[in-house]
Structure 1
Amino acid sequence: MCSCNNKDDKSKSFSLGSFLRHALRAYHDSAKDQECSSNGYNNWSRSSLEDTMFAVHENAERAHTSAGDLSNLDYNAEREYVQFPDEEITISKGYSSIIESIASVLPTGLIQLSTKVVKIEWQVENESESRPVRLHFSDGSTMAADHVIVTVSLGVLKAGIQNRRSGMLFSPPLPSFKADSISKLGFGVVNKLFLQLDPTTDHGNQEIGEGFPFLQMAFHKQESELRDQSIPWWMRRTASLCPIYMNSNVLLSWFAGKEALELESLSDEEMINGVSTTINSFLCSSQQRKLLNSHKYSNGHVNSLGSTNEFKFTKVLKSQWGLDPLFMGSYSYVAVGSSGDDLDKMAEPLPSTSNSDVAHATPPLQILFAGEATHRTQYSTTHGAYFSGLREANRLLQHYHHHHHQ
């Protein structure tokens, strides 16, 4: 299999993308004899079909990891990732219902909404202020605190260390070990697109007794003569389009990387036209369905009878994580050049407990960090973020328990 050029620093020279590409090339080399004896699959040669199916799974992985390109995803750290057991579920009342349930035990008025923190001062030395941390809000007000748990996204932290106005600033600046980890870790954009099929339009489903299919999309390469030029570029790295549940009229598709950012800039009409064009290049007309069901027509030629534009949409809904100034992206990944150690450094409180002189000279645990990008094995997930919050709450409980018994 693959081997790194630099054994001492594998993470900087070895990506998941390069590993998978190497394996695909090795497979092609081993299958050359079979390729020569194969008649292909209609308009597809065996190797082109294999390359295209590889791209389908690659695009699904892009959305799963938030890495716009798998060549940016560190191979070794990816092996540390732990999949949470049991099946995934859809929360019927949305994520907000979970937050409301957790917050219901807190005193009324304790949570302040629409109160944006723009700067955090720490190691404050002021005779009139006994607390070492001061929060500055966008309306000009301030608040003193003994401890602050920072849960903003990695995207907001990246903007902060780059001194962008949209980021959160720290004074004094974060120590180099923390800033370096923030810079090196990856933070991508993943967006969902929901589309509602027009329920009054005949989609031909009665003929086959099913709703809209789970559509996995494989596209011809750019240099192919068979490439449909009418399909917009931002649809070409989308792995699938499927109903949110069996026979639903609401379809879901995932976008990652630059395609996800492009989606955020498109109008409803542009999205509907782009998806409709793509669907109609894959799914055949009623006449074609009859031929396919009678096994007289092959998948390699479904477009040759023309499209009837059967699939129409009435509503669209998209997420916009990239443009949201409170997130600036979706979730983190371990990029080439970083490692799981950087996730651990993200979780380390300030003042750093590794510097005993500083830790004893100033009040401890002034700034703590939580969020999905601080969990070494379950980053990029909601449960990882939740567990990190419990971790930091327990850190403070242990601190005061120890302090009480001294």
Structure 2
Amino acid sequence: MAVKKARIVIVGAGMAGITAANRLHSVSASKNLFEVCVVEGGNRIGGRINTSEFGGDRIEMGATWIHGIEGSPIHKIAQQIHALESQQPWECMDGNDNKATTIAEGGFVLNPSFVHPITELFNNLMDHAQGKMSTATTKGESGILSIGSFLRQGLAAYWDSSKEEKELKGFGKWSRKLLDEAIFAMHENTQRTCTSVADLLTLDYDAESEYQMFPGEEITIGKGYSSIIESLASVLPPGSVQLGRKVTRIEWQPERQEAMNMENGTCSRPVVLHFSDGSIMSADHVIVTVSLGVLKASIRDNDSGMSMFHPPLPAFKVEAISRLGFGVVNKLFMQLSPPHGGFPFLQMVFHSPNSELRQKKIPWWMRRTATLCPIYKNSSVLLSWFAGEEALALESLKDEEIIKGVSDTVSCFLSQSVEFCNGNVNSEKHSHEYKVKFSKVLKSQWGKDPLFLGSYSHVAVGSSGDDFDKMAEPLPKCSSSSQLSASPPLQILFAGEATHRTHYSTTHGAYFSGLREANRLIQHYSPC
């Protein structure tokens, strides 16, 4: 019987897939162990990493930040390839510490003395939820289901402990309590984009403390996040990454087949991949790195017989996929016309979407957006983040609708009392209407893209960190029966940010998961 090298097919050329391929190639190049192939349904590598240009600036349509530089493998690679700095201006190249101007709907500029106490309250509550303030409470004993309910309990306690509410003058129909709640909601909306949840009431409380951050500052990459992917992929042999190859079906063998097919004198490989163009490919091992959104769609298709996996995934895997959360976050870039600097780093404090006090010309999809800011000081490109329903709605809007909606919102905030000097607000009152013009927009559309169907994962209420571990478990599950009766091992392996218990939702989590599955296969083929 002829000896064949193990064929490993990696589905998806994002961070997890390219990292796994890089690691497998680095070992196989010297030991000639594997035949490695990456198949990608799209026309580019990178997955949810997608560096682009807009208004002369380098921007990120997807992954944006290195979340802590101390110990981050992404930061280490960026240093090694000299990608941290660039001659071309790039998104957030001056960090995220620019002084914000906070304005309440109607054009009321809020003094920091109004904003700081609520900001401090919110940050302290999140630090507590994330385990940065040690308590004796054991996991599961808090009785709190969600981050949203915990935050609102904290705000209520703050009000209960506050002195009698003072009368607020000069802020139209805003009361101090309405302002407090609206400032708090602004921070909640920022947290929604950080976690990809449509509503913080669906974000699990107990799991929040398991999430880990690297220490050190958070920075963006001068030459773009795509430079990291391109560096990792650069060592792969030509032709090993195949673009435009969308997998529609993966056939695997949960139980050993009694009669093995023969191909050229060798046993046939246990996994068969079917592609949208009708072609097929066999493999000994498949590393699936598609998004949790794609996996969720796949298990919804089980009943119709259109599932990606045949036979369908086992119950423990399906249940983990179902329980974990996967949300939509989109970015909106807008070019000022004519291009000019001086727009403030604007924090927007809105009336409640259902309030009778709200200004009707502000569209509903803008009301849960926390900020509208230049991508660096004096840039003519502005950026807003959207999550949940608003993020999905943004994908369907025409450019003209977006420009009108944002322009109307800006006029409601900046018309009554603003004059700008280098992005700062002067306090003198003016009666003129502030008009802002935009020449073009660019938006991400992660929710409706069939290759992603969302942005990143979170622990939903009813789920737990255990589900990430189940996501990472390879198939078929290890059997205690004899090797003779067992099906071929490690047929389907899983990688991606939604398979990492402590670094989910991040590029470094995807990176770690790719290494994990590559090392699992390397260990499998290494002599004892």
TM-score normalized with structure 2 length: 0.67
Query: 1:373-384 to 2 correspondence within 5 Å?
Result: 373-384=498-509
Post-superposition shift, 1:199? 2.6
Deviations 1:292-348 (A, max 9, x none): 977454xxxx7xx35242x11111100000110000000000000000000110001
- Counterpart for residue 172 of structure 1: 311
**Correspondences of 1:4-403 after superposition (within 5 Å):** 14-31=145-162, 33-35=163-165, 37-39=166-168, 42-43=171-172, 44-123=174-253, 125=257, 126-128=260-262, 129-163=267-301, 169-199=308-338, 211-222=342-353, 224-284=355-415, 288-289=418-419, 295-297=427-429, 305-309=431-435, 311-353=436-478, 355-357=479-481, 361-401=486-526
1:385–1:211 CA distance, 2 compared to 1 (3 A) = same
Shift of 1:364: 1.1
Judged with a 3 Å threshold, the aligned counterparts in structure 2 of structure 1 residues 197 and 168 are, in CA distance, closer, same or farther, namely: farther
Residues 138-165 of structure 1, C-alpha deviations (whole Å, 9 max, x = no match): 1111111111100000000001111178
Residues 112 and 185 of structure 1: CA distance in aligned 2, closer, same or farther (over 3 Å): same
Deviations 1:55-111, CA, capped at 9 Å, x for gaps? 000000000000000000001111111112333333334333222211111111111
Q: Which amino acid aligns with 1:79?
A: S
Counterparts of 2:356 and 2:312 in 1: how far apart (Å)? 55
Quick check: 2:287–2:494 contact (8 Å CA) kept in 1?
yes
**Aligned residue pairs, count:** 380
Structure 1: 5+ residue stretches without partners: 202-209
Indicate if the aligned counterparts of 1:159 and 1:167 stay in contact, CA closer than 8 A.
Answer: no
Give the unaligned 5+ runs of structure 2: 1-124, 129-137
Distance 1:242 1:288, change over 3 A: closer
Mapped contact 1:156–1:167 kept (Cα < 8 A)? no
1:39-68 Cα distance to aligned partner (Å, 9 max, x none) = 466232111111000100000000000000
Instruction: Report what 2:26 is aligned to.
Output: none
Q: 1:204 corresponds to which residue?
A: none
Check conservation: 2:495, 2:514, Cα contact below 8 A.
yes
CA RMSD of aligned residues (A): 2.7
> Which letter maps to 2:396?
S
CA contact (8 A) 2:375 2:383 kept: yes
Match of 1:356, as an amino acid? S
More helix by share: 1
The alpha carbon displacement at 1:9 in A equals: 6.0
User: For 1:397 and 1:175, how far apart are their aligned partners in 2?
Assistant: 25
- Alpha-carbon distance between aligned partners in 2 of 1:239 and 1:339, rounded to the nearest angstrom: 28
Structure 2 distance, partners of 1:11, 1:167, is: 42
1:25 positional shift: 1.0
CA distance in structure 1 between the partners assigned to 2:167 and 2:152 by the alignment? 23
